[in-house]
Structure 1
Amino acid sequence: MLRILPLFDYFLRKGICWIMYSGAMLLPEVVKTECIFKSVHLKRDVELEFFIPEGLMGNETLNLLLLNDGQDTDGLCLQETLNNLYQTYKIEPLVVVAIKASVDRLQEYGVAGNPDYLGRGTKASVYTDFIIKELLPFIQGEVDFPINGKRVFAGFSLGGLTAFDIAWNNDNYFDAVGVFSGAFWWRKKDLKDGYTDEDRILHQCIRNTAAKPDLKFWLMTGTEDEKADRNKNFIIDSIDDSIDVIKELLIKGYKRPEDIAYYEMVGGKHDIQTWGKAMFPFLIWAFGRKPQV
């Protein structure tokens, strides 16, 4: 079991004095712990990284963030970003669980039940079952204190599309979703085979969902995410596809900025360095500290 050290236990073991600021405790360093989970649904070992702040007292509201493509946390500078945000009192306590992708990533990621035109994403339903039926119960069993705050799922590129799809269809488990340079182009027909925008799978799933999931959305693109411009409107496809997701959400009844945040990074590329920079505003959006009264 992963240990979140209670205040006095941490005090005795580290021999340090806590600094109080505006009635709140100064959180110490974030501890990274790695573990392997044997998944029944995926039929493989899943490598996980936990990022947890030491010294929690147990009476805080504790939030959760799941990250797809968790193998990239070093490149994202995730631990350093979390420490910076805690030390400047910008975010509430949270457990981050980074899920490392396997060699079967292109099959496990995608839209559940809707493979793309190349047959990718055939195991997306199985990956969904892993997240909901195995990983979430496992996480709570590994953390000493109840995860009683927000539950957010985020990812990058195809991992972002996957996070959106899982949260969209399981809003009883998640409160918000974050998508960095999402693969919203995911389509059932190739461009050379008479593709139209109606062939985008996620957009159609949003339209076809009768209910309005109780979620909030943070979408990010970079102005240099790609160069493709299939409709020749001088706007790259990744931005067009993300804006069209927002349009579908607005039609569904969501509102901006209450429910939807869109962050377009000037000069941002489709890479880990860009997403690492975007992680800072995303974490503040998702887990920002409420002003002291």
Structure 2
Amino acid sequence: MKQKLKNVIMPVVACFLLAGCHKKIKQQEDEIYSRHLQEHIKLTIISTPMPDNNSDMNLLLLNDGQDVDQLRIKNITDSLYKKKLILPLLIVAIHAGNRMEDYGVGGYPDFKNNGSKADKYDAFISDELYDFAKKKTGVRKFNSIVIAGCSLGGLSAFDIAWNHADRIDKVGVFSGSFWYRDKDTTGADYADDKDRIMLNKIKSSRKRPKLTYWFYAGDKEEAGDRDHDGITDVVDDTKDLVTIIKNKNVCPPGDIVFTETPEGKHDYASWSKVLPDFLIWAFGR
């Protein structure tokens, strides 16, 4: 009798353990060759369990993938998913090659010629990486697609989202480098209202992209204060961009979220603290 009971119980236990394994967040390293960038790009891929209907899977494209451990995104995603706070999620974190060249505003290098390959990086994301993610997972169409990044990676994410709102649904920017400019601030002819590249691009754009936006900036990120108003530049630049988007009436005011923290610094410790809020905003149940 005991042996029969053991024969029944053991397969049940084994199935339970296997099911438990399948429910874990997975992380793996991968690589893709980009014909646009003419180099191999390393990827860190983090995934919740695949849903029964794979079209319920959501995709997050994340810049600066080499720093995912500092951002603690695997542990945070795991915790939120177990609590049933977010939907099934595939994160493709792209390791930066030369981030000073790749990240920027496509077609508009800054006054030091940084961002000279931003247009090629944009093409890599839109023409190559998206199809790679679909093939990797067997998903024909993701439920939603979000792109995000920090600092220069945030500037890049915003630019790519604006350019490809036909495919990308949401964008998240952590301390975006919206100071990005075509003149040195020490020059006598520099002016915020005409020399910040991304802000000018959005002001002059005729696009009405169907995007929703999430921005973060901390009050202690830097000492810079170009206009001497007592507010750090990263906060001012982000607020100015938000104002431009709102004035263009491209989306309802509620589709733009701006989070500001008094103690926030320009580092992964600060960004990881607000990461759960972003993930719930982007992929919440």
**TM-score normalised per structure 1:** 0.88
More helix by share: 2
The one-letter code of the counterpart of 1:16 is F
**SS in structure 2 at match of 1:267:** coil
Q: Confirm whether residue 71 of structure 1 aligns to residue 62 of structure 2.
A: no
- Give the aligned partner of residue 126 of structure 2: 132
- Give the aligned partner of residue 87 of structure 2: 92
* Residues 30-41 of structure 1 mapped to structure 2, 5 A cutoff: 30-41=25-36
CA shift at 1:39, angstroms? 1.0
Residues 13 and 33 (structure 1), Cα distance of their counterparts in 2 relative to 1, 3 Å cut? farther
Contact 1:62 1:146 in 2 (8 A): no
**SS in structure 1 at match of 2:254:** coil
**TM-score normalised per structure 2:** 0.91
Q: Distance in 2 between matches of 1:140 and 1:254?
A: 29
- Give the aligned partner of residue 202 of structure 1: 198
Residues 250 and 109 (structure 1), Cα distance of their counterparts in 2 relative to 1, 3 Å cut? same
Q: Distance in 1 between matches of 2:74 and 2:126?
A: 25
CA shift at 1:148, angstroms? 2.6
Contact 1:33 1:49 in 2 (8 A): yes
Deviations 1:219-277 (A, max 9, x none): 00011111110110000000000000000001110456521000112201100111111
**SS in structure 2 at match of 1:211:** coil
- Give the aligned partner of residue 6 of structure 2: none
Q: Confirm whether residue 235 of structure 1 aligns to residue 250 of structure 2.
A: no
**SS in structure 1 at match of 2:56:** coil
- Give the aligned partner of residue 184 of structure 1: 178
The one-letter code of the counterpart of 2:133 is I
Alignment counterpart, residue 212 of structure 2, candidates 213, 216, 219: 216
Contact 1:111 1:161 in 2 (8 A): yes
Contact 2:55 2:140 in 1 (8 A): no
Contact 1:91 1:288 in 2 (8 A): yes
Contact 1:58 1:145 in 2 (8 A): no
Alignment counterpart, residue 259 of structure 2, candidates 245, 260, 263: 263
The one-letter code of the counterpart of 2:226 is R
Q: Confirm whether residue 250 of structure 1 aligns to residue 246 of structure 2.
A: yes
Residues 32 and 147 (structure 1), Cα distance of their counterparts in 2 relative to 1, 3 Å cut? farther
Residues 239 and 141 (structure 1), Cα distance of their counterparts in 2 relative to 1, 3 Å cut? same
- Give the aligned partner of residue 16 of structure 2: 16
CA shift at 1:105, angstroms? 1.2
CA shift at 1:208, angstroms? 1.0
- Give the aligned partner of residue 3 of structure 1: none
**SS in structure 2 at match of 1:33:** strand
Structure 2: runs of 5 or more not aligned: 1-10
- Give the aligned partner of residue 148 of structure 1: 142
CA shift at 1:211, angstroms? 1.9
Residues 59 and 156 (structure 1), Cα distance of their counterparts in 2 relative to 1, 3 Å cut? closer
Q: Distance in 2 between matches of 1:101 and 1:224?
A: 26
Contact 1:182 1:238 in 2 (8 A): yes
CA shift at 1:59, angstroms? 5.2
Residues 255 and 174 (structure 1), Cα distance of their counterparts in 2 relative to 1, 3 Å cut? closer
Contact 1:28 1:54 in 2 (8 A): yes
- Give the aligned partner of residue 226 of structure 1: 222
The one-letter code of the counterpart of 2:266 is H
Q: Distance in 1 between matches of 2:12 and 2:28?
A: 22
Q: Confirm whether residue 280 of structure 1 aligns to residue 276 of structure 2.
A: yes
Q: Confirm whether residue 167 of structure 1 aligns to residue 161 of structure 2.
A: yes
Q: Distance in 2 between matches of 1:66 and 1:13?
A: 37
Q: How many residues align?
A: 273
Which has more radius of gyration? Answer: 2
Deviations 1:17-49 (A, max 9, x none): 799xxxxx9x82210011111111111110001
Contact 1:114 1:121 in 2 (8 A): yes
